[in-house]
Chain A
Amino acid sequence: EAQVTQNPRYLITVTGKKLTVTCSQNMNHEYMSWYRQDPGLGLRQIYYSMNVEVTDKGDVPEGYKVSRKEKRNFPLILESPSPNQTSLYFCASSPLGLVDTQYFGPGTRLTVL
Chain B
Amino acid sequence: QKEVEQDPGPLSVPEGAIVSLNCTYSNSAFQYFMWYRQYSRKGPELLMYTYSSGNKEDGRFTAQVDKSSKYISLFIRDSQPSDSATYLCAMSVSGANSKLTFGKGITLSVRP
Contacts and interface: CB of A to CB of B under 8 A. Distances in A.
B112 interface: no
A30 B96 CA distance: 13
A67 to B, nearest CB: 18
Range of interface residues on chain B?
Answer: 20 to 34
Nearest to A33: B100
A106 B105 contact: no
A42 B105 CA distance: 6
Contact of A42 (B32, B42, B88, B95): B88
Interface in B50-106: 88, 90, 95-105
B104 A42 contact: yes
B43 A56 contact: no
Contacts, number: 62
A105 interface: yes
Q: Interface size class for chain A?
A: 20 to 34
Given A99-B95, A99-B97, A102-B96, A44 B46 contact: no
Given A42-B88, A99-B95, A105-B43, 15 more contacts: A43-B88, A43-B102, A43-B105, A48-B98, A50-B97, A58-B99, A59-B101, A90-B43, A97-B97, A99-B97, A100-B49, A100-B96, A102-B45, A102-B46, A107-B42
Interface of B: 6, 32, 36, 42-46, 49, 88, 90, 95-105
